[in-house]
Structure 1
């Protein structure tokens, strides 16, 4: 039986590991030629990857209006045609992009944009509702996020969304937002074996929220990736927030940390990626990791975690012992 989790107070049940759909969006560009995508993709392979994920027990698919300037939503909609009833769809709003030029053109936290962006997402996804609609501006002041609550609650009433959330790494902001309306069900935040956010998990516990874990594999570092990535890949010209890579390669400092915990993560025969995802499942009953996949092979590895379940208690304790020392040491 596939391991499942509940999306907080929404009661929506999902496979305990979801699929992140940023990478299948293909290229997106920002100011000065900054890449915000993961490079060119094969759409047919992306569709096969979604289908394989479904076969392996994945039900949650997490995308955003600006992933590939809408391309991720289009590909996901194509992949789920005739399969919509098997999927829990999560998308995001707040980042604006131009589909014709594949360029990011800024943010818009207004209620009007939330409504308009949803209509565009529904059209691209080929559906009449999304299950989880998430604010996608990490550092937005909590007061501005609260201005969206009435609009989001109205969208629930209209049946266009079932629940909503916020992709933010700020626990205080997440708490304020979640206390603002009854249908806030999840917080998406950076969470991995290399970067724990215990305070955010405490907020999720206190307010009955799901913890959607973006970056669960540290942008590929926790897959053992060592190859160079191209100039159209966000890791090839890493923004300040992307600490795992420099000049298209994993940094020696973070690679060394992965090496130090690899044995504990893989002790029961898992791959490194499965160990990292298993650590998240063992970390809290609220976590739902959402690793990205671009190929069927990646889906088979990542979502093989659903059959293996959480990291065993002994291995989790060993990782924690190692991390207690590592987290106190400087990186860089």
Structure 2
């Protein structure tokens, strides 16, 4: 699988990364997770991205990942996110919560260090207060994490890029979510930050025949794609579009299907989209998208 360097972090990571939300929220078993992640690592994937709030207890994503593949820790880069309460006593977005969450993440993931800890979609006002940023910097200084990042969209993402303290930005980039491409994504790339694309296939929302059948979370994307009317929607085209966006290093994809990783890797064998196809997709967005089509968390 193709590898790219994640901005100034210098980490050479696979263009596909494993997203840990699905296994946590859908309460996968440890055996299922072991098969899933084993197949991903065997297919050449070397990025696992999760969060402390993806599930709880014995089926929390971090716990499942730690139990399933901690013995292969040297084979992958381990990213997580923090800031939500998720069973801890402190309020959201406090230094105490973030610090306690990082310690719990290390224990659940069965590792001595994390490669990247990201603030998980907190607001602009929280970022501007600076306290949680300072807590994240302290964790980096203490060797709990090698790098720090921000995960989010819109004005908060713009501030996270401009403040100059984060190594990476994780943000939604896909056929139905292009607002950031010419804004905070472009600025992050110019600043040398690593860029991680979440929701890179727009949750494959076009596979639901009607709006009523589409789940609530990807429904805004379903609605947008009706207006955009892109021809030939497919997982391959969606992934290749996202990975053609300048500055994007990796696309985080979640699944519970162990066979999916080799299939997705094969879809990327043709490389980036041709320039004329990529520009046609961007031009359609710029023609159709209204100002209220903001980045989706």
Say yes or no: TM over 0.5: yes
- TM-aligned CA deviation for residue 149 of structure 1: 3.0
| Alignment CA distance shift 1:330-1:158 (3 Å) | closer
Task: Supply the distance in 1 between the matched residues of 2:291 and 2:92 (Cα, whole angstroms).
Answer: 39
Q: Which of 290, 294, 297 is the matching residue for 2:259?
A: 297
SS at match of 1:165: strand
SS at match of 2:236: helix
Given the alignment of the two structures, is residue 6 of structure 1 paired with residue 39 of structure 2, yes or no? no
SS at match of 2:108: helix
Aligned to 1:30: none
TM-score of the superposed pair, with normalisation by structure 2: 0.84
Task: Supply the distance in 2 between the matched residues of 1:80 and 1:207 (Cα, whole angstroms).
Answer: 34
Runs of 4+ in 1 over 4 A off after TM superposition: 178-182, 225-230, 328-331
- TM-aligned CA deviation for residue 243 of structure 1: 5.1
SS at match of 2:56: helix
Task: Supply the distance in 2 between the matched residues of 1:132 and 1:329 (Cα, whole angstroms).
Answer: 33
Q: Map 1:256-267 to 2 at 5 A.
A: 256=226, 260-263=229-232
Q: Which of 241, 256, 277 is the matching residue for 1:315?
A: 277
| Alignment CA distance shift 1:170-1:324 (3 Å) | closer
Maintained 8 Å contact 1:219/1:244: no
Q: Which of 103, 106, 115 is the matching residue for 2:99?
A: 115
Task: Supply the distance in 1 between the matched residues of 2:236 and 2:138 (Cα, whole angstroms).
Answer: 39
| Alignment CA distance shift 1:153-1:97 (3 Å) | closer
SS at match of 1:166: strand
Number of residue pairs the alignment of both structures matches: 288
| Alignment CA distance shift 1:300-1:256 (3 Å) | farther
Task: Supply the distance in 2 between the matched residues of 1:287 and 1:324 (Cα, whole angstroms).
Answer: 23
Task: Supply the distance in 2 between the matched residues of 1:137 and 1:21 (Cα, whole angstroms).
Answer: 16
CA deviations over 1:50-69 (Å, ceiling 9, x no partner): 11111222111110001012
CA deviations over 1:204-240 (Å, ceiling 9, x no partner): 1232112211111222315x3559999xxxx74x3xx
Task: Supply the distance in 2 between the matched residues of 1:180 and 1:12 (Cα, whole angstroms).
Answer: 22
Aligned to 2:204: 220
Aligned to 1:202: 186
Given the alignment of the two structures, is residue 174 of structure 1 paired with residue 157 of structure 2, yes or no? yes
Maintained 8 Å contact 1:59/1:88: yes
- TM-aligned CA deviation for residue 286 of structure 1: 2.9
Task: Supply the distance in 2 between the matched residues of 1:219 and 1:43 (Cα, whole angstroms).
Answer: 24
Task: Supply the distance in 1 between the matched residues of 2:162 and 2:141 (Cα, whole angstroms).
Answer: 18
Maintained 8 Å contact 1:122/1:128: yes
Task: Supply the distance in 2 between the matched residues of 1:229 and 1:94 (Cα, whole angstroms).
Answer: 33
Unaligned runs of 5+ in 1: 27-38, 100-104, 266-271
CA deviations over 1:122-163 (Å, ceiling 9, x no partner): 11101011111011133241313x223333222222211000
Aligned to 2:123: 139
| Alignment CA distance shift 1:323-1:153 (3 Å) | closer
- TM-aligned CA deviation for residue 317 of structure 1: 3.1
Q: Which moved more, 1:73-82 or 1:126-135?
A: 73-82
Q: Which of 69, 72, 79 is the matching residue for 1:80?
A: 69
Task: Supply the distance in 1 between the matched residues of 2:46 and 2:268 (Cα, whole angstroms).
Answer: 11
Q: Which moved more, 1:308-317 or 1:88-97?
A: 308-317
